[in-house]
Structure 1
Amino acid sequence: MMRRCMFPTPEVEALLVHAMFPDAARIARNLEAYRTDPGRQFFLWETGGRVVCAVGLRVQARQAEVLHIGTDPLERRKGFARALLSAVASALDLTTLSAETDGDAAGFYRRSGFYVRETAPRGDQRRFACEWRAAG
């Protein structure tokens, strides 16, 4: 079940950190931005009374950008992140949902109904632009 979370709890932060570049200062800046930037929102997927997935978004009108999405490592590949993105798009009545990602997550976005295209690399890492558009 999806729900919006108003403030990042340690449990939510732990899930989002799975999707952040492993640099302590950068992680701290990102988490602080979720606390202070009104354009950033985050949502949770709960099952069995436990939070198993969280997504952080930048939302503007009916468009959103996935900034971070993290799933409990023991709960991966069960469809929770895909269900969360679908529920968020529906709840916010989004027309567009986008993300920039690396090669590790490009397949996830493709399986979730996003159009995925390779973009310019960042350093030595391949990068991908992912976009989902509402039908109609």
Structure 2
Amino acid sequence: MLTGTIIPQSEHNGSLNEGLPFGATSFENWVKQQLNKVVISLINLRDTSDLSEVRNLLTECMWSDEGRIDAELTKYLEDESRELYGRFFNDELMGLIGVIHGSIGEVELKHIAIKPEYRGKGLGTKLVYEYVQAKNIVVMKAETDKDAVGFYNKLGFTILSLGEKYPGVERFECTSRHK
């Protein structure tokens, strides 16, 4: 069962700051408070009946080519070496993390995506940490672009430039070791 608080649309009156519960000074503040209350662990998205939200979130972290997105989603659903987990709030998918297993305790973080309205609230960090702890991950690697290097650096990943892997696009390998 998913837990959380629902604020009826009638209490919003079109403004994100109107109708907030007592003590919440802004919609962003209220969301942060609610995210800290979320007690749900990661949910395997293979068990999700409606994959449209999953697909939409994958477009947030991939080149938005429908064929590639569908191919990646199919790989997550059919390839046992891949796992795709999500975090829900009020039955809404807030974010996802997708990995490919290598040797024991090692994974490649292939995809991480957070819905725009939940970004900057620590959810991506929670997804990574929760996955690492739940699965006893020793080494996590990710390949990313310049825009996401700060996220991985903040999490303590070691950053290594791979140079211009594609014309005009510098790529980075990010590695985190856990005990």
TM-score, with structure 2 as normaliser: 0.70
> What letter matches 1:75 in structure 2?
Y
Q: Which residue of 2 aligns with 1:71?
A: 114
SS in 1 for 2:111: strand
Q: Which residue does 1:124 correspond to in 2? A: 168
Q: 1-side partners of 2:62 and 2:41: how far apart?
A: 22
The 8 Å contact of residues 45 and 54 in structure 1, kept in 2 or not, is answered as yes
Aligned to 1:58: 100
Aligned to 1:19: 61
Q: Which amino acid aligns with 1:130?
A: C
Identity among equivalent positions (%) equals: 27
User: Greater relative contact order: 1 or 2 (C-alpha under 8 angstroms, separation 6 or more)?
Assistant: 1
Shift of 1:91: 0.4
Runs of 5+ unmatched residues, structure 2 = 1-39
Counterpart Cα distance in 1 of 2:111 and 2:91:
22
> Pairwise mapping of residues 83-94 of structure 1 onto structure 2 (< 5 A)?
83-94=126-137
Deviation at 1:39, TM superposition (A): 0.5
Q: Distance in 2 between matches of 1:58 and 1:108?
A: 20
Residue 133 (1) aligns with residue 177 (2)? yes
Question: d(CA) in 1 for partners of 2:94 and 2:42?
Answer: 12
Task: Give structure 1 stretches of 5+ with no counterpart.
Answer: none
**Structure 1 residue ranges (4+ consecutive) displaced by more than 4 angstroms after TM superposition:** none
- In terms of fraction of residues, the more strand-rich structure is 1
Aligned mates of 1:56, 1:69 — CA distance in 2: 6
Q: Deviations over 1:110-130 (max 9, x none)?
A: 111211121121221110100
Letter in 2 for 1:110: N
Q: Summarize deviations over 1:8-64 as a string: whole Å, max 9, x none.
A: 622222212211112222112111111111111011123454321101100232111
Q: Distance in 2 between matches of 1:79 and 1:17?
A: 20
Number of aligned pairs? 135
Cα RMSD of the aligned pairs, angstroms, is 1.5
